[in-house]
Amino acid sequence: MSGEYLLEVRSEEIPARMLEPGVRELATRVFEELMARGLGPSEVETGYSPRRLVLILNGVPEREPDREEQVLGPPVSAAFAPDGSPKPALAGFAKKVGLEPDQISRVKTDKGEYLAAVKKTEGRPSKEVLAEIVPRILGGISWAKTMRWGSGEGPWVRPVHGIVSLLDGEVVPFDLFGIPAGDQTVGHPTLTPEPFRVRSVEDYRKELAARSLEVRPAERRRVLLETMKSRAEALGGRLVEDGPLLDKLAALCEVPGVMEGGFHEDFLELPAEVLATSLRDHQSALTVESPNGDHQLMPYFLTVMDRPDDPIGRTRSGNEWVVAARLADARFFYGEDRRAGLAHRAEQLERLTFQVRLGSYADKTSRLVALATTICDMLGCEASQAAAAVRLLKVDLATEMVKEFTSLQGIMGGIYAREEGQPEEVWQAVYDQYMPASMEDRIPRGRIGQVVGLADRMDTLVGIFGLGLIPTGSKDPFGLRRAAQGAVRIALEGGLPLDLEEIAARAAVLYSDRLTRSAEQILEDLRPFLHDRLRYVLGLAGYAYDEIEAALSTGVASLPDLKARVAALHQVREDANFLTVVLAAKRIVNILKDAPEEQLDEQFLTQPAERDLYTAFQGLRSEVEEAAAAGDYERCLRRIADLAPVLDRFFVDVLVMDPDPRVKANRIALLQAIHRTVSRTARLTEVVVDKAEARSRAGG
Amino acid sequence: MRKTFQELILKLSEFWAREGCVLQQPLDLEVGAGTMHPDTFLRVLGPEPWRVAYVQPSRRPADGRYGDNPFRLGKHHQFQVILKPSPLDVQRLYVRSLEAIGLDLTKHDLRFEEDNWEAPTLGAWGVGWQVMLDGMEITQFTYFQQAGGLELKPISAEITYGLERLTMFLSLSRNIYEIEWVEGLAYGQVRHQEEVELSKYYFELADVTFLQQQFEGYEREAGRCLEAGLVLPAYECALKCSHSFNVLDARGAVSVTERVALMKRVRDLAVGCAKAYVESREKLGFPLLQKEEAVEVADVR
């Protein structure tokens, strides 16, 4: 094997979250710099553990390719006298490029004839190149947070302790923060701390394996997951998988050992959400559920240990000790909260600030009761359950459990509401209020939950926008983008025929004099903000940009309606006749640009083409209107597409700008009527048409 | 493995004394953590080397639980070590200190998990870990990067052992009050009454007006001391302010907005003291520097 480079940098424990990006940056930059020098390796492999970054290259060429470059010297006229005898400039140039004067050639350029020499640069050995670039790249890794140590060494992510840097078994020397690269490393700090020498990549792998060290994170993750699954099975249960947590555990060890522990069955009286959150947040532990599909947890947990075994059982007892203490805390909070009851906690919302200028959560609650009621009225549904859910909505913020585990907000309120005997729609509305938390997350389950979730988000958006605190760039401290996205998704996916602007206006009124801006000013900013989220959500659903724009342009009085229009456009846009109508619509808009509103009078329809267009239009107008009113936008658009042949002929045969002003006015009136009807679904002029494609389709 | 609270103190003291640490005594004022002891907060500033170890009773009034909660205390004890500059083998030294208290680390799981420390009221932050022994946090390990708003050079390593937790862990006790202080005498027998009464005082009885006056008074006094060039008394006054603030907070007498303002006032004092301390040491010629180090001071600052 030749051209094999092994780099291992040992340091004190690097934070789990920084390992993957750090090693990726290292590998990418080394690869790019080698490529730029013609030293691209055939294989790149990376690895890491909390204490090591590993980069393995294969097939690194032995040396850079030699380079030849032409060097221009002085003009020939300066180097030779007219009689052809050399002047000192010739010797000077020859000396500069390291050649004999008779090896100097000449080249013709635009500016005359010049002396020239071909300078050969011998490629450097890759060992030399690596020794130069590796320490620079290592030192320059952009860690999320850096530190200094000792007398000011650094900055780097953690103090560096050792470097193995070997090219085909030979040390590629350099130093990093005073630590010289060599061929020695160490094993696990407490289990196999003795230094050992490395001779090759193969040797390195063997030595690591002999010490049960695994530097490939994917392999550690695989081992952890497999072991945990089989342990869970052996316990008569099933592992509750948690991808992000497994990633983290795999980055916390270099020996992927699984720590299995248990807790007292009494703790199972805690809600499963609380158990899982406490175990995950405090002990980075996964849970085990019973295998019969009822998601009932079992009194076990599984986490990582950075060693293969637990020889005296202390690792297990230590972890169990901590878990018992944490669960005892959780049980204490649970008991306190249930004893106090949600009604009592509700009183504390007065003292919980929602936003300094927007008041407390008690203030928010009263606004939300009114806003949710308004939304229910808009939807024509009964408001009493929504109002009941709103009154309980934020109460869990005052509970001990949520103070301890903020990630349980909403969920905990839902659980307590359920335990207090609230109807399903009500407790689920509280439970689901922060959903969707991401694009992958689902929206609240029931209608009440959707209404309440929407009201909450609109209240927050209007309040913060009403103070002029509009998110810019990456700054969005109140999470308004997510709130807006949630609102849009709830209305879209919940099929709620609502006008968000109307709700926003109402929300602004409910703030009375707390806001510094008027409802109009707020809408001015909020409208494009909501539209951006809409574009994003619809875009992810597979609709094209122009389809969304076209539908948005005719208004957003109801989001499900908007979506139906986008979907219809998406369906018909491939239809050749429809494209003809789109092109005609663009033409009509141009013609109508500055035209005043005109009245149509049948008697002035003089030419056959315009009479045909009028007749055809009359024939489908009511059907188009009916289809649109029924929300059947596809039928609406397909009927409009039927106008294609007569529209085409109209534009061929008829000149709109007739010398007779009455005829001209009449034609404009006809086009205005047609334009109104074809724009019922979307502003067709927004649809992007490849004209050549449209023609060929029409022709075919 | 039966370990008492005081045996731990003795073993750790002995270990770090051997590493050349000044075996200091606790600060005789109320502080929230060993970091606030001037032998940490002020000594980590400037170019002078320093090694110190001490126990610091640490008061966190809001954590008091009337002696009822087996895991929480309003006053606990930290064993604090400062090594300045941080030696390259500081982690190894730390591991050896665990061996010194009787742990055979080939039989335990020891992990260093990211945990960066920040103390806004001290204008200080550092980078480091919480040390997890068999899944339990036993030590806070920090490389100080900034204190009193000043960049640090050299860098100090701070090792803070939670003595009660460590003893509990070693004896796998489920109740702080049941660990042994000395053989035959439980922690609770020594301290329970104090926890009960201090909780009662901090949560129910402390006079808010008096504490506010105390805060204002010590703040003024700190300013006067600084003007007179008396750094250490000024710093002690700042610590008094900090403690008054903590008690006011536990008493529920600090609103969210006041909180920010009060913390800023404490921070301003700490920053003022830090700056004045470095100046005062410079005036003295940084006496703890070796001769050849002193030459480099110009670079260092």
The CATH number of whichever domain residue B70 belongs to comes to 3.30.930.10
| Residue A417 C-alpha, separation from nearest chain B C-alpha, in angstroms | 28
Spatial CA neighbour of B145 closest among A15, A150, A140:
A150
Q: Does A199 touch chain B (CB under 8 A)?
A: no
Domain that holds residue A412: 352-541
Q: Does residue B186 belong to any structural domain of this protein?
A: yes
Establish if A549 belongs to a structural domain: no
- How near does any CA of chain B get to the CA of A486, in Å? 29
Given A315, A340, A365, the domain boundary residue is: A340
Name the more confident of B172 and A611: A611
Say if B298 falls within a structural domain: no
Mark which of A340, A373, A402 sits at the end of a domain: A340
Residues A46 and A84 sit within 8 Å (Cβ to Cβ): no
Find the range with the poorest average confidence among A149-153, A357-361, A426-430, B21-25: A357-361
Asked which of A238-242, A412-416, B287-291 is least confident by mean pLDDT, the reply is: B287-291
Residues A486 and A610 in one domain: no
| Residues A206 and A303 both lie in one domain | no
Residues A223, A187 share a domain: no
CA–CA separation, A230 and A236 (whole Å): 10
In this structure, the answer to whether residues B10 and B61 fall within a common structural domain is: yes
In this structure, are B23 and B89 located in the same domain? yes
The A residues from 465 to 494 touching B (CB cutoff 8 Å) are none
Residues A27, A153, single domain; the answer is yes
Residue A112's pLDDT band (cuts 50, 70, 90) = confident
pLDDT recorded at residue A574: 84
Please state the domain count of chain B. 2
Taking CA atoms, B163 is separated from A152, A651, B62, B80, in Å, by: 31, 91, 19, 10
Nearest by CB to B105, from A190, A252, A323: name it: A190
Are B198 and B55 in a shared domain?
yes
Fill in the DSSP letter of residue A258: E
Whether B84 is covered by a domain: the verdict is: yes
Mutation target for A interface from B109, B125, B176, B255: give the one with most A CBs within 10 A: B109
Which of the four pLDDT bands, split at 50, 70 and 90, describes residue A699?
very low
Q: In what order do the strands lie in the sheet with A112-121?
A: A67-75, A112-121, A105-109
Q: What is the CATH number of the domain that holds B271?
A: 1.20.58.180
Residues of B in contact with A160 (CB under 8 A): none
CA distance A25 to A40: 16
Among B187, B203, B219, residue at a domain's last position = B203
Contact B128, B143 (CB under 8 A): yes
Looking at beta carbons, which residues of chain A come within 8 Å of B88?
149-150, 159, 161
Could you tell me if A179 and A266 lie in one domain?
Answer: no
Q: Specify the pLDDT at position A657.
A: 85
Position B300 pLDDT exceeds 80: no
Enter the tokens of residue B228: 């007179």
How many CB atoms lie under 10 A from the CB of residue A389? 33
Asked if A150 and B88 come within 8 Å (Cβ–Cβ), the reply is: yes
- Looking at residue A700, what is its pLDDT? 37
Cβ separation B135–A319 shorter than 8 A? yes
Find, among A687, A675, A652, the residue nearest to A595 by Cα.
A675
Residue A601 is predicted with a pLDDT of 85
Q: In this structure, are A163 and A224 located in the same domain? A: no
Tell whether A22 and A77 lie within a shared domain: no
Nearest chain B CA: its distance from A144 CA (Å): 12
Can you list the pairs that B260-264 forms with residues at least 24 positions away whose Cβ atoms lie under 8 Å? Answer: B262/B215, B263/B120, B263/B121
How many CA atoms, within 13 angstroms, populate the side-chain half-sphere of residue A152? 10
Write the secondary structure of A23-78 as one string of H (helix), E (strand) and C (coil).
HHHHHHHHHHHHHHCCCCCCEEEEEEECCEEEEEEECCCCECCCEEEEEEEEEHHH
3-state secondary structure of A115: strand
Smallest Cα distance from A128 to chain B, Å:
29
- CB spacing of B108 vs A15 below 8 angstroms: no
Chain A to chain B Cβ contacts (< 8 Å): 115
- Of A449, A349, A437, A350, the residue nearest A399 (C-alpha): A349
At A606, list the tokens. 């003089």
ipTM of the complex: 0.93
Q: Is A147 on the interface with B (CB under 8 A)?
A: yes
Instruction: Answer whether residue B250 is part of any domain.
Output: yes
- Give the whole-angstrom CA distance, residue B32 versus residue B42: 16
Whether B68 maps to a domain, the answer reads yes
Which chain A residues are within 8 Å of B111, Cβ to Cβ? 13, 50, 252-253, 305-306
Minimal CA–CA distance to A455: which of A481, A439, A471, A433?
A: A433
Side-chain-side CA neighbours of residue B36 (13 Å): 30
Percentage above 70 pLDDT, chain A: 98
pLDDT above 70 (res B226) = yes
A307 in B contact zone (CB under 8 Å): yes
What pLDDT does A621 receive?
87
**Given pLDDT bands bounded at 50, 70 and 90, which one contains residue B126?**
very high
**What range does the domain containing B33 cover?**
5-203
A322/B87 Cβ within 8 A = no
Number of domains in chain A: 5
Q: How far is A535 from chain B (nearest CA, A)?
A: 39
Q: Strands, DSSP E only, in A337-385?
A: 353-355, 359-360
Q: If you count them, how many residues does chain B have? A: 301
> Mean pLDDT throughout B154-176?
93
pLDDT at B299 over 60: no
**A345 to chain B, closest Cα gap in Å:** 17
CA quadruple B266, B270, B273, B277: dihedral, nearest 10? 170
DSSP bridge pairs for B182: B185
The answer, yes or no, to whether residue A275 has pLDDT greater than 70, is: yes
Our measurement of the distance from residue A646's CA atom to the centroid of its chain's CA atoms, rounded to an integer in Å, reads 48
User: Where a domain ends, among B149, B172, B203?
Assistant: B203
Q: Amino acid identity, residue A379?
A: L
CB contact under 8 A, A152 and B153: yes
Inspect the interface and report whether the beta carbons of B256 and A151 lie closer than 8 Å. Answer: no
- The pairing of beta strand B185-186 with beta strand A286-289: unpaired
List the single range of A26-30, A546-550, A655-659 with lowest mean pLDDT.
A655-659
Of B85, B86, B112, the CB nearest to A13: B112
Q: Is residue A345 part of a domain?
A: no
Q: A145 and A244: one domain?
A: no
Domain identity same for B90 and B226: no
Query: In this structure, is residue A13 part of a structural domain?
Result: yes
| CA of B107 vs chain A CAs: smallest distance (Å) | 6
Whether residues B255 and B218 share a domain: the answer is yes
Give me Rg for the CA atoms of chain B.
20
Query: pLDDT per residue over B35-84, tens digit each?
Result: 999 999 999 999 999 999 999 999 999 889 899 888 889 999 999 999 99
Q: What is the mean pLDDT of residues B191-219?
A: 96
Q: Are B175 and B199 members of one domain?
A: yes
* Other CB atoms within 10 A of residue A455 CB: 30
* B196 within 8 A of B66, measured Cβ to Cβ: yes
Interface contact flag, A152 B87, Cβ < 8 Å: no
Task: Render the burial of B163-202: b for 16+ CB within 10 Å, e for the rest.
Answer: bbbbbbbbbebeebbebbbeeeebbbeebeeebbebbebb
A194 has a chain B CB within 8 A of its CB: no
A249 and A321 share one domain: yes
Radius of gyration of chain A from its Cα atoms, rounded to whole angstroms: 37
Domain termination residue (choose one: B159, B177, B203):
B203
Chain B nearest-CA residue for A178: B88
Query: Mind spelling out the 3-state secondary structure of chain B?
Result: CCCCHHHHHHHHHHHHHHCCCEECCCCCCCCCCHHHCHHHHCCCCCCCCEEEEEEEEEECHHHCCCCCCCCCCCEEEEEEEEEECCCCCHHHHHHHHHHHCCCCHHHCCEEEEECCEEEHHHCEEEEEEEEEECCEEEEEEEEEEEECCEECCCCCEEEEEEHHHHHHHHHCCCCHHHCEEECCEEHHHHHHHHHHHHHHHHHHHCCHHHHHHHHHHHHHHHHHHHHCCCHHHHHHHHHHHHHHHHHHHHCCCCCHHHHHHHHHHHHHHHHHHHHHHHHHHHHCCCCCCCHHHHHCHHHHC
Q: 């696990």: which residue's tokens?
A: A188
Cβ atoms within 10 Å, residue A204: 21
Is the same domain home to B53 and B156? yes
* pLDDT in the model for residue A647: 87
Contact state of A17 with B127 under an 8 Å Cβ cutoff:
no
What distance in Å separates residue A467's CA from the closest CA in chain B? 18
Asked whether the beta carbons of residue B110 and residue A12 sit closer than 8 angstroms, the reply is: no
Give the pLDDT score at A303.
97
Q: pLDDT value at position B78?
A: 98
3-state SS, A469-500, equals CCCECCECCCCHHHHHHHHHHHHHHCCCCCCH
Task: Sort out which chain B residues have CB atoms less than 8 A from A145's CB and list them.
Answer: 116, 127
Contact A148, B145 (CB under 8 A): yes
Give yes or no for a contact between B171 and B180, defined as CB atoms under 8 angstroms apart: yes
**pLDDT tens across A379-402, in order?**
999 999 999 999 999 999 999 899
A103 and A177: one domain?
no
Residue type, A386: A
How far is the first Cα of chain A from the last one, in angstroms, to the nearest whole number? 61
Residue B297: band (very low, low, confident or very high) from pLDDT cuts 50, 70, 90: low
The pTM assigned to this predicted structure is 0.81
Whole-angstrom Cα distance, residue A79 to residue A85? 9
CATH number at residue A461: 1.10.3210
Over residues A204-209, the mean pLDDT reads 97
Summarised one tens digit per residue, pLDDT across range A625-671 is 889 888 899 998 888 888 888 888 898 888 888 888 888 888 899 99
- Tell me, yes or no, whether B186 and B212 share the same domain: no
pLDDT in the model for residue B291: 62
Is A180 in the same domain as A250?
no
Q: Are residues B198 and B210 in the same domain?
A: no
Give CA separation, A687 vs A544, A572, A581, B38, in Å: 10, 12, 11, 72
- Is there a contact between B109 and A305 if contact means CB atoms under 8 Å apart? yes
The reply to whether residue A13 touches residue B114, judged by beta carbons under 8 angstroms, is: yes
Whether B297 is in a domain gets the answer no
The DSSP secondary-structure symbol of A356 reads: T
Name residue A460's amino acid: T
Shared-domain flag, residues B69 and B83: yes
A372 lies in the same domain as A475: yes
Question: Which pLDDT belongs to residue A294?
Answer: 85
Q: Please list every residue in chain A whose beta carbon sits closer than 8 Å to the beta carbon of residue B256.
A: 353, 356
Q: Is residue B300 part of a domain?
A: no
Q: Is A117 helix (H, G, I), strand (E, B) or coil?
A: strand
Give pLDDT tens digits for B79-99. 999 999 999 999 999 999 999
Chain B residues closer than 8 Å to A322 by CB: 135-136
